[in-house]
Amino acid sequence: MLLNGKEVERDVIRHVGGAAVVALKDSQILLVRQHRAGSGEVMIEIPAGMIDPGETPEQTAMRELNEETGYVCDPLEKLCSFYPTPGYDSEKLHVYLGQNARAARNRLDPDENEEIHLFWMDFDKALEMVINGKSMMPKPSSAFF
């Protein structure tokens, strides 16, 4: 229903929600590069993923960080939650800050349907890329602001 009371029909993708982590070590941010089917392009992102049944957003953030990168951070600090694409999607994304990233003692198995390449970048350089629109980072780039 619109604000004026008019009823309209919309196609909406129902989404369970997701979590993402800004993982830092010294002045570096941990990023992942992976192909995204929706865009057909390779994207640079912060580690993120969908919330599994029974998980809290913070648990999802920790799991995804480990699965995608083999790193852990603790404790996590909540930065924000937002709806990245509210025009057609119900996803709520929860973003966390993780300091002192380090290799996980118990690495979780990565998803078989993903090919992820991780790399470290100077945080200031990553922020500059986002501000100048030179980054391919999709919705998680909002975590920088």
pLDDT tens digits for range 42-95: 888 999 999 999 999 999 999 999 999 999 998 899 999 999 888 888 899 999
pLDDT of residue 86: 83
Query: Among the options 112, 114, 115, 128, which is catalytic?
Result: 112
**What confidence tier does 127 reach under pLDDT thresholds 50, 70, 90?**
confident
Active site includes 68? no
Nearest to 22 by CA among 64, 50, 53: 64
Q: Give 5 or 138, the one with higher predicted confidence.
A: 5
* DSSP structure string for 69-111: HSEE-SSEEEEEEE-S-TTTB---EEEEEE-S-EE-SSPPPPP
Strand 18-25 and strand 28-36: the pairing is: antiparallel
Residue 131 has pLDDT above 90, yes or no: no
Q: Mean pLDDT across the chain, nearest whole number?
A: 88
pLDDT of residue 143: 58
The pTM for the full model equals 0.87
